[in-house]
Structure 1
């Protein structure tokens, strides 16, 4: 069994949203130089070696302060990584704003998690910092892979949460993650509105899994999660800290042939980071 649930390939640079709660604002700037036009991403070879060595089952394309579909070489990178890492599950975490324009790349993954705070345009604008939600119904209709919806729980999204969940279920969505704001220490019963009754039916990595109509709803608390990940930042740093805000820019490489790396054993690096 792998010591990691997944590996994450993190992109950084300008974004097509302006989320006021973007986690990238809390990450050390030294970890997040722009890499949206860089091929291959810094230290990619070391990440692929780690995935092979530790038999990590899943690789996620995601971002620290941008959307991974803004990466200029998305389709090429995914295609080449599939060749290098047979049997690995490839997942995309996106805001969906480029999904219809890049549908071929979207459908080239094995699964997608799409951040979609609400159908209400005013709520969407306040949560994402940009107008007009993406055409979710069209995205779902054209998707050939499973799409999970991720909803951040804020003072704006919670009052319309029941309507959002109901409409998602009507559109055929089967899985939803409700995400606590980073740093919100309140228990879920103090966060969720009373009209959203979510009986617990299971758990995943320390997070309750609930039912709402035909939806599986996971209540995700990053601080309490027992997930384990290996994360490649755009700087080339590889960190085993699940919480991106806890990564250190002091240890730039795990191992590999990247020019300029320090010669240290992989086991010692993994222990220190």
Structure 2
């Protein structure tokens, strides 16, 4: 019987990120992936490839979660990965469902903004995510921007800054933190920081170019979720996910879009 992991995330039509990336990562990491979609995000080729954001009705999200959680009981499904939620209404639904079931492992990849959202709506969403979802998370995997927002720091320019951010996020949330520096920090290494309140570890891999690749952050969080679902320790899961994503970036897929996408089939 395979381990089962649920992703609650948006759909991204080019296949690089979102639920598509999560499910491909779960398959590659040998767990059975299921998904509840929260929104439809598509890039607009006619508008400089900016996002088009369409939320899914809260009732439909609740229906998806009801089906998934009825089909697989707590003895089968106790790991969930949360990605793009996108609206306060969606956050309320997801928070209610998570609160009714004792998930042992909740991995929050805290997508705080989407370019297709109005600024005021995005701020309301960020606030709701911090208040309602972050306290339920066992693990949080912020990228560079999200680490700044969650830590309250003005900027993150170094490994030392990223380490401080990870520590601040842990201290405020109680979650184990895997803060993703990626290509945002200067130097030849892509750096992430793991901190659980006791263990602090810097994870590095050679950069593969200096431009972010679509789906790298989603895939890192999904690979981490897959490994902890198998019972691997969080630190071991972080190392395994880091290695997996480095390979996925190395074997990236190019297209007519102005960005490449990770490929998990390596």
Is the helix fraction higher in 1 or 2?
A: 2
TM range (shorter): 0.3 to 0.5
Q: Max radius of gyration: which structure?
A: 1
Instruction: Provide the TM-score with structure 1 as the length reference.
Output: 0.43
Higher relative contact order (CA 8 A, sep 6+): 1
